Amino acid sequence: MKAHPLRRALDGVYYAAGMLAAVFLLALLSIIVLQMAARWTGQVFPGSTNYAGYCMAAMSFLALAYALNHGAHIRVRLLLTRLGRFRRLGELWCYGIGGALSVYFCYYAIKATYWSHLLNDVSQGQDATPMWVPQLSMAIGTLIFALSMVDRFVSILLFGFDESAEKNNVVG
């Protein structure tokens, strides 16, 4: 059965965010290796600790939706399977609360990024990076995660099951 174009588009967004998270993971590895090489040779890599932290944050937030759609998040599977015929209601409750919280967090992540840009906030480290730059990955990651939580909620509400979980053989 062919997936709906909107389903393919959303899955593509989640996949792209996951691949971008992998790029930040590789960037984090590269920064750590360069930092070690700089120490061994007596060189200085100013701001490397801050850059590593920015990459770690970007990787974490961008991977949220991808991980959710591949069953990598800690779930309440034990409780949901115990609900029996009320499992759908339990999943709706979980995704409803999770979706509301993720939208709330997304709103404030975007607001913080906006205000950092507006106030020309810079990091306190040696790098003096404008803070809105690393915060942008957090805002984008939480936006995609909120979209995936709402997507899951709507899938369960309309279809009675989670399409992407079924496709990826994720149970609960």
Digit-coded pLDDT (tens) for 117-156? 999 999 887 788 899 999 999 999 999 999 999 999 999 9
Asked if 123 contacts 100 with a C-beta cutoff of 8 angstroms, the reply is no
Q: Which of the 8 DSSP states describes residue 128?
A: -
Nearest CA to 128 among 76, 50, 60, 59?
50
Domain that holds residue 56: 5-167
In a domain, 22, yes or no: yes
Number of folded domains that form the chain: 1
Q: Is residue 172 part of a domain?
A: no
Percent of the chain with pLDDT over 90: 66
Q: Is residue 99 part of a domain?
A: yes
In a domain, 126, yes or no: yes
* pLDDT tens by residue, 80-125: 788 888 888 988 999 999 999 999 999 999 999 999 999 999 988 7
Sign of CA dihedral 75, 13, 164, 72: negative
In-domain check, residue 143: yes
CA gap 144, 152 in Å, rounded: 12
> How many whole angstroms separate alpha carbon 14 and alpha carbon 141?
10
